[in-house]
Amino acid sequence: MPLFCANFAIRVPHALIHSRRSNFISNHVASSFLLFLDSKKSIGSSKPIVSLSKFNQTHHCSSTMEDQNQLVLTSSEPEKYSKELEVAVRAVQMACLLCQRVQDSLVSQTNGQVQSKDDNSPVTIADWSVQATVSWILTEYFGSENVSIIAEEDVRSLSKADSSGLLEAVVKTVNKCLSKAPQFGHEGPIKDLGTSEVLEAISRCNSTGGPTGRFWVLDPVDGTLGFVRGDQYAIALALIEDGEVVLGVLGCPNYPMKKEWLSYQNGYRRIMSKLTPPTSESWEKGCVIYARRGSGKAWIQPLLSGDKKFLWPNSARQIQVSSIDNPAFATFCEPVEKANSSHSFTAGLAHSVGLRNQPLRVYSMVKYAAIARGHAEVFMKFARAGYKEKIWDHAAGVVIIQEAGGVVTDAGGQPLDFSGGTYLEGLDRGVIACSGAKLHEKIIRAVDASWNSSSL
């Protein structure tokens, strides 16, 4: 018998609800209970596990009533992946907090905290710490046998003999973050994680992806260059099932109050340092954006501030792409680094379709967030020939834009293919994300018209 029947009502006496954390039982507990009944079952185990000890969960669409002695629950069929989404959002919220702390200390100290990977790209303690933290949370919540993760970092450079200071800093950062877990409605570890547990959490993200099964995709700090420069970066977590992105979460800790400040040229740090600190109520700076495949909705919620407790859905509100379809009024965004996308090619394209605004150059998947929020209309990325786009640089952003009403394809108009392992296999020339079909079509046509004469 399915655990969830359409429009049923269950009465649950308080005495039946046991929680290791009784403070989790709030007026949201009814749907928590229902959702958790379905928890591990939905990810492979045949036995439903009845517990309230994890997150205090609710549903966007469930309704709950509480009186003194009993809870009256009504709910319709739970939305698929709603539990996974909520766990992911909470984990990304925690990761945002972690990154904010590390970025603040990076920007004020500069020395010795940025390492180079084998390909010379930068990596910081935030990358490893977020990967360890998110991996630990997902594993703790869903069970190691049910969690498969593909993520950007590995432990090679962390495990080197001369990296003991770095590793120590990562372990400390992870434990500091996990000590805040209860604030986010999650049980942290009983005692601090040791070095080997942190290394294990990082290295268990060794999935190779592929066309079948379910795996998480994590870019712990996307746009590391923006991160080390005190600018935009994102924490990107997505879930892929049978080659399709089914949910995406983007943490954007520096997403500014005014969209104009997104631009790298405006020097995000400089502007922020001149402003009075945001009050705990101001929720425009920094956000977490998320969507579930097929829901037709994308959501934004503020970062948790101060000592507040995270209560799902944390004042989430729906977002939508912009309705601008005239290129003359549209804004296009692209990577800050010329090395990552040809600025001259996109300038030509922009000109040919009548996009008059200056490009908005932003680090990381914050560009996807900007389109989903309606702050820009077009995102283009044309990497140099031979560069293979990685799935973690796109997965979360793609589903969020699509559910917010936008269109994302390669330059041939085909959907991005997340089923080929680490890379977006078969990507035709570049990535084009638009707020609507009309703009998208124009750009695709313009790419075709100018491709042969380009140097790409």
154 assigned to a ligand binding site: no
Nearer to Mg ion, 129 or 314 (CB): 129
Q: How far apart are CA 78 and CA 281, in angstroms?
A: 31
67 assigned to a ligand binding site: no
Q: How far apart are CA 285 and CA 272, in angstroms?
A: 10
Residue 383 contacts ligand A3P per CB under 6 A? yes
Q: Report whether 217 contacts 391 (CB < 8 A).
A: yes
Alpha helices in 110-163 (DSSP H): 125-142
Q: Report whether 364 contacts 234 (CB < 8 A).
A: yes
Give the chain's length.
456
End-to-end CA distance of the chain: 57
Residue 124 contacts ligand A3P per CB under 6 A? no
DSSP 410: E
Residue 141 contacts ligand A3P per CB under 6 A? no
C-alpha torsion sign, points 319, 323, 325, 329: negative
Three-state DSSP class for 423? strand
Q: How far is the CB of 121 from Mg ion (least distance, A)?
A: 9
DSSP 353: H
222 assigned to a ligand binding site: yes
Q: How far apart are CA 365 and CA 249, in angstroms?
A: 11
Specify the amino acid at residue 39.
S
Nearer to ligand A3P, 377 or 393 (CB): 393
Alpha helices in 38-191 (DSSP H): 82-109, 125-142, 164-178
Residue 275 contacts ligand A3P per CB under 6 A? no
Nearer to ligand A3P, 256 or 335 (CB): 335
Q: How far is the CB of 384 from ligand A3P (least distance, A)?
A: 6
Q: Report whether 178 contacts 193 (CB < 8 A).
A: yes
User: Which stretch in 15-23, 63-71, 310-318, 337-345 sits in contact with ligand A3P by CB under 6 A?
Assistant: 337-345
Restricted to residues 167-206, the positions that interact with Mg ion (CB under 5 A) are none
Cα–Cα separations (whole angstroms), residue 349 to 23, 141, 343, 441: 56, 46, 10, 13
Q: Which residue is nearest to ligand A3P (CB)?
A: 335
Residue 231 contacts ligand A3P per CB under 6 A? no
Residue 16 has which token pair?
A: 């039946």
219 assigned to a ligand binding site: yes
Which residue out of 224, 331, 346, 409 is catalytically annotated? Answer: 224
Residue 393 contacts Mg ion per CB under 5 A? yes
Residue 131 contacts ligand A3P per CB under 6 A? no
Residue 241 contacts ligand A3P per CB under 6 A? no
Q: How far is the CB of 152 from Mg ion (least distance, A)?
A: 6
**Strand 378-381 to strand 332-334: parallel, antiparallel, or no bridges (unpaired)?**
parallel
Residue 222 contacts ligand A3P per CB under 6 A? yes
Q: In 3D, which of 110, 206, 128 has the Cα closest to residue 174? A: 128
Specify the amino acid at residue 297.
K
What is the distance, to the nearest Å, from the Cα of residue 91 to the centroid of all Cα atoms in its chain? 9
DSSP 206: B
Told to judge if 127 belongs to the known catalytic residues of this protein, a careful annotator would answer yes
Q: How far is the CB of 115 from Mg ion (least distance, A)?
A: 16
C-alpha torsion sign, points 126, 129, 131, 134: negative
User: Which stretch in 100-108, 247-255, 331-339, 415-423 sits in contact with ligand A3P by CB under 6 A?
Assistant: 331-339
User: Which stretch in 89-97, 215-223, 245-253, 262-270 sits in contact with Mg ion by CB under 5 A?
Assistant: 215-223
Restricted to residues 42-81, the positions that interact with ligand A3P (CB under 6 A) are none
DSSP 88: H
One residue of 387, 421, 451, 454 binding ligand A3P per CB under 6 A = 387
Specify the amino acid at residue 104.
D
Nearer to ligand A3P, 152 or 410 (CB): 152
One residue of 23, 53, 121, 414 binding ligand A3P per CB under 6 A = 121
Residue 222 contacts Mg ion per CB under 5 A? yes
Q: In 3D, which of 395, 414, 405 has the Cα closest to residue 434? A: 405
One residue of 219, 377, 403, 410 binding Mg ion per CB under 5 A = 219
Which residue out of 58, 64, 124, 127 is catalytically annotated? Answer: 127
Q: Report whether 400 contacts 371 (CB < 8 A).
A: no
One residue of 223, 253, 313, 406 binding ligand A3P per CB under 6 A = 223
Q: How far is the CB of 212 from ligand A3P (least distance, A)?
A: 25
Residue 364 contacts ligand A3P per CB under 6 A? yes
Q: Report whether 181 contacts 124 (CB < 8 A).
A: no
Q: How many residues belong to the site for ligand A3P (CB under 6 A)?
A: 16
**Which residues participate in the annotated binding site?**
152, 219, 222, 393
Would you name the residues annotated as active-site residues?
127, 224
The residues binding Mg ion (CB under 5 A) are 219, 222, 393
**Which residues participate in the annotated binding site for Mg(2+)?**
152, 219, 222, 393
The residues binding ligand A3P (CB under 6 A) are 121, 152, 219, 222-224, 335, 337, 339-340, 363-364, 383, 387, 390, 393
